[in-house]
Structure formats: C-alpha cells, structure tokens
Homo-oligomer: A and B are copies of this chain.
Amino acid sequence: MKTTGDQQLVKRINRSVLLRLVRERPGLSRAQLASHSGLTKSTVSLLVRELVEQGWLGEAPATTTAGIGRPSTPLRIHPHARGIIGIETAVDCVRVVAVSLLGEVWWSGEEPLASTAPAAACAQAARLARLAYDGMAARGLRLSGVGLGLPGAFDEATGVVRFAPNLGWRNVDFLPLLTRALAAAGLPEVPVHTQNEADAAALSEYEFASGDGEDALVFVNCDVGVGAGIVLNDRLFTGAQGMAGEIGHTIVQVDGPLCSCGRRGCAEAFIGARAIAGEAAAMGHTRQAGQFLGVLLQNLWTTFNPRVLVLGGSSCVGHPALVQVAQDTLNAYAASAGMAAPALRVARYGMLAPAVGAAALVLHQYLRPMHPRQTARQLP
C-alpha cells in the first residue's frame, strides 16, 4: 500500500518527466508525451491539464497530423506565465533578476552591498527581490521560487553556509534567515534555494540551454576568488561537504607565491582579481594570469573530459585579452598532446550568470525530485 507521501513523490516525478520532455522537444503532443515517458495517456492528460492551469506549460493551436485522427495540440514550456527570482549576494554588491522558465531575463537590478551582516544582507536582497516580484505580479506572472548564489561553501543537507571568507561568514544558518527576509518583504511562500555562486552560474548555462544541456559542464568563475561549478551526470556536483570546485586552490607552482588561503602556489595567487589588479598598466601580469588560467583549464579538461568549459566572473567578462591568452595556452597544450582542444566559451549571461543561475537552481531542484541515491529506489 502506498502512503500519501509516496503518491506525492510519484506525482512530482511524473510532472518533472513531462516538463523535461517538453523542454527538450518543444511541440510534443499529449500522445507523444505518453509514448516518450512510458506514462499512460490518462495520466499524461491529467498532469498536462494541471501543468497548463498552473502556467508551466502552454498550448499552441491544434494541428491535424496527416489529415486523420483527432487534432493534436503541441505543448511548450509557457514563456510568460511563471517566473523565477535569482539573487547574487556578491562581495560588494547584490544583483537580482527575474527570469522566465526558459531563462529570458525580464528584469535586473543591482545595488552596492550595504552590510555584510547576514541578516542585513538577506533583508537587502529581499527588498530588491520584492521589486522584481512587483514587476512580475503587475504583469500577472506567478512566482515559482527564489534562488540565491553567494561566494562561499553552502551545505545543502543543513542549509548552512559553512564558510564565505570574503563576506566574513562561518557556519551561518542561512536558509531560514533568507526565507524569513523574503516573507517580511511580502513575497509569497515559494521554494527557496541557496548555493555557491560558481555552482549557480554553472546551472545558468546548463538549465537554460536549448535541448539537453551539455554534460559534463565546468563553469570557471574568476573574481577575487576563483572557483568552479560542475554539472555532471545531469546534476550539480558539490562534493562531500559542498566544497567541490575550489579550483582556485589547486597548486600550479610548487613553492609559488603565498595565497590568501595560506598555501603557496595556488592558481588564485596568479589569476585572482587581486593578483591582476591594475592590469591595464601591467600587461605582463595579464599575460601571466592568462597563461595560468590556461593551465587551469587544461587541468580541468584532463580531469573532467567535459563537453564544454565556460569562463565567467569579472576577470573574464569584459577582458577579452585575458581570455584570449588562456584560450591560446589551452590550445597549445592540446596541440602538444595531438588532441583537439575542448570547447571553451564566455558565460552567456556575463556578470549576471550567478544571479540567473540562482534562478536556474530553483528549476534544477524542481526537475530532480529525488536524490541520486534514490535512482535505484523506485516506487512501484
């Protein structure tokens, strides 16, 4: 006998099945969805009706296939009925975006960060989020969730920010703070998620891609800190304590310069924003930083064999010279090994990648109702 909880999980799984199928192949009919999903036609009809009513799916005008049978209605993710709010609490500013389920940015706002105190930072983020929400509500759009990216290690299991050195946070019970701040600002009760900024940024590229998404995908975020967001086997990968992707602290020169972390020779000591500050005057620095960024990319390539490497963060967005040196260095390593260099591009959303990615995180969680370990724990 199934419990109610089981039934709800099955329903959530089936909803996500249908949403992902329609996202990957816009225009599928109910009958095609049934055939692709393995769900019965009646289950599909029931779920699609709900998804249309709730603004997840939209129906295009019915078409008759080959002139016979009942006309079938092509389904699409509804681009203008639901939205998600994404927030980036960066070291010196707050950025907020409102995006569609397909990743179109409808609204964005940015302010200097008024205070690094966790509660104050949440309150400021919530005020900006309220502006985004008001704009959405005025256009009749429904809110699906709020995501937030920040420069630190976030533990999904507990909702705690373990360590965010540049904000001065350690073991901050963050998720309840943020949820309360959003409620106080008058936002409706919706799912709220948090993640490291580079992890979020990786999802901006993965969840809002057309088609299937590139898997594996490594997003390298170059700012004061240098970190990576990693998507593989269809999921964000964050490691045992949420600290995977701290690639700024991989050693690229034994006994090299001292890094802010205390180690010597970390990549961040060469390519962190502090190391390349004033680079217009010191082109040598940019060149060296670009070369070490290229080494880092070559190392990520051989380690992850990804479909694509994506560069983001203030040091890469708008600094084509640095990116070019990194690309040249990566190409040179590939040529030495007689291999084709991996695909490399700059973040599609530029400096908005972590905020848009925080919105993508809401979708990522919604579309994967089960923990990976549950993949072999199916309900009957």
Contact = CB atoms under 8 A, between A and B. Distances in A.
Nearest to A308: B240
A39 interface: yes
A349 interface: no
A250 B303 contact: yes
A245 to B, nearest CB: 7
Nearest to A35: B3
B38 A6 contact: yes
Interface in A246-262: 246-247, 249-254, 261-262
A333 B251 contact: yes
B240 A372 contact: no
A19 to B, nearest CB: 9
Contact of A216 (B10, B38, B244, B262): B244
A65 interface: no
Number of copies of this kind of chain in the complex: 2
A370 interface: yes
Interface residues of A, number: 72
A67 interface: no
Contact of A233 (B237, B304, B305, B377): B237
A352 to B, nearest CB: 26
A69 interface: no
Contacts of A83: none
A368 interface: yes
Contacts of A239: 216, 304-306
Contacts of A37: 377
Given A233-B235, A233-B237, A380 B39 contact: yes
A274 to B, nearest CB: 17
A336 interface: yes
A238 B372 contact: no
Interface in A1-50: 1-3, 6, 10, 13-14, 16-17, 20-21, 37-40, 43
Interface of A: 1-3, 6, 10, 13-14, 16-17, 20-21, 37-40, 43, 212, 215-216, 228, 232-235, 237-247, 249-254, 261-264, 291-292, 295, 298-299, 302-307, 333, 336-338, 367-370, 372-373, 375-380
Given A38-B379, A250-B299, 11 more contacts: A17-B376, A39-B379, A216-B240, A228-B303, A233-B233, A239-B304, A240-B305, A243-B302, A262-B337, A368-B375, A378-B379
